[in-house]
Amino acid sequence: MAIKRIALALWLAGFSIVLGGVCFAQDNAPRMEQVVQSYVSNKTFMGSVLVVRDKTVLLDKGYGSADLEWDIPNSPTTKFRLGSITKQFTAASILLLEERGKLNINDPVKKYMADAPAAWDKVTIYNLLTHTSGIPSFTGFPDYESTEAFATTPEKLVARFRDKPLEFQPGEKFAYDNSGYVLLGYLIEKISGETYAQFVQENIFTPLQMKDSGYDSNSAIIMHRASGYSNGKEGIENAGYIHMSIPFAAGSLYSTVEDLARWEQGLFGGKLLSPASLQKMTTPFKENYAFGVAVSTTNGHKLIEHGGGIEGFNTHLAYYPDDKLIVVVLGNLSGDAPGGIAHKLAAVAHGETVVLASERKEITVAPAILANYVGTYELSPAFALVMTLEAGQLMTQATGQHKLPLYPESETKFFLKVVDAQVDFVKNDKGEVTGLVLHQGGRDMKAAKK
């Protein structure tokens, strides 16, 4: 949920393996395996991965341990907390209610919540779906970390932010907002008369035969559920505790890679929503964000995706509609590896060249050239990269993080070794350095030099 501050035809020799009506292709598998293993070997990824083009499986495998203490391996049927991938299920639930005449996404929230504060008079369900309500995200409140371990109710969650002033006028801009999706879950319960968990189970998981998915619990025995881990000072450690009533409709669900493939095939195969509703769900409003999913184009391919992050788990789900390509990466080790893995696997499936961190070649660049890159590069008002030159080595330090060395591939292209990230410096017509592009986790983020 990003609950912390902060989501085929076989081409080779006609050879394939058929299992349960699904074809397993072998053409891209070796390179895909190399991609995932590059993250496994540097201890930034444990989890399960599935890549499917139409009904042909390109990769379906678990990596590392679902439980390190018992040495139980991850597998395609391991269950992982999804974090913010949950949001697309919440969005689909709202659209199902609209199809049944229970609501209209353009209605103001106050129509279904008589005691809504006056500040929400212009906040619509559409604003909640698209993160444009202006309601502050409760996961960014100062008391969040001290309260995340304790059970709560939807009503109490809403009470945390209902009397806070709006950060901007509804529809004015985009700001990722867990409060908005908690409020959507609250509305689903009020309008349907069912709990959020019941509604999603009965209206999505059961119809799509997603038998290994559900609302996560801190007390229930859930077979084949992974434990969550994070990297600490002494290495990998058990992740911190969060009560699963806290993320609610913004990040509470669990699933498997194979169930999420069923979800994508059902959603985009017309088994759940009407064409009109699906069009609404996948039409972005601001910042490429639609309803619970981001929609963009990468290297000429339309992409519908979302990631997730919650204590001990990071996840990524991507769908490329032009060739019905599904990429699912579910990890039980905190970090941004799943996003990077997902985008690299998609690139391999599309026949693009993928360069792994271990394959990058370092060259020597004169200190006089490196000196041109010294300065501060602003990715956002609250986040910047500071470049320094120390004993002939270009160093970078992100806001609130440790200083790390950058290694040159060319005079303008650099890479990090401890994380899978690259930096391209940008120059103007006069040869002056004006900014950079940070490539990390499948994203290209521009920063101007200050």
Exposure string over 80-95, b if 16+ CB within 10 A, otherwise e: bbbbbbbbbbbbbbbb
Start-to-end Cα distance in the chain: 32
Question: How many angstroms separate the CA atoms of 294 and 84, rounded?
Answer: 12
Measure the CA angle with vertex 382, ends 377 and 388; round to 5°.
Answer: 30
Per-residue model confidence (pLDDT) at position 26: 57
Per-residue model confidence (pLDDT) at position 24: 52
Per-residue model confidence (pLDDT) at position 8: 23
Backbone phi, psi, residue 60, to 5°: -150, 100
Per-residue model confidence (pLDDT) at position 23: 57
Per-residue model confidence (pLDDT) at position 449: 97
Cα 327 to the center of its chain, rounded Å: 12
Per-residue model confidence (pLDDT) at position 25: 56
**Average pLDDT, 10 consecutive residues per value, the chain (450 residues):** 33 28 66 96 96 95 98 98 98 98 98 96 98 98 97 98 98 97 98 98 98 98 98 93 98 98 98 98 97 95 98 98 97 95 96 91 96 96 94 95 95 91 95 94 87
Per-residue model confidence (pLDDT) at position 255: 98
Per-residue model confidence (pLDDT) at position 380: 87
CB 260 within 8 A of CB 80: no
In the three-class reduction of DSSP (H, G, I as helix; E, B as strand; rest coil), residue 370 is classed as helix
Per the prediction, the chain carries an average pLDDT of 93
Residue with tokens 């008369």: 193
Question: How many angstroms separate the CA atoms of 318 and 302, rounded?
Answer: 10
CATH of 80-349, picked from 3.40.710.10, 1.20.1260.10, 3.40.50.2300, 1.10.645.10, is 3.40.710.10
Cα 12 to the center of its chain, rounded Å: 33
Q: Which residues are registered as beta bridge partners of 293? A: none
Q: What is the CATH number of domain 361-449?
A: 2.40.128.50
**Percentage of the chain surpassing pLDDT 90?**
88
| Extents of the domains making up the chain | 80-349, 361-449
pLDDT in tens, 38-97: 999 989 999 999 999 998 999 999 999 999 999 999 999 999 999 999 999 999 999 999
Long-range pairs, 7-11, Cβ under 8 A, ≥24: 7/83, 7/84, 7/85, 7/87, 7/294, 7/305, 7/306, 7/307, 7/308, 7/309, 7/315, 7/316, 8/52, 8/53, 8/54, 8/55, 8/56, 8/58, 8/323, 9/56, 10/56
pLDDT in tens, 158-199: 999 999 999 999 999 999 999 999 999 999 999 999 999 999
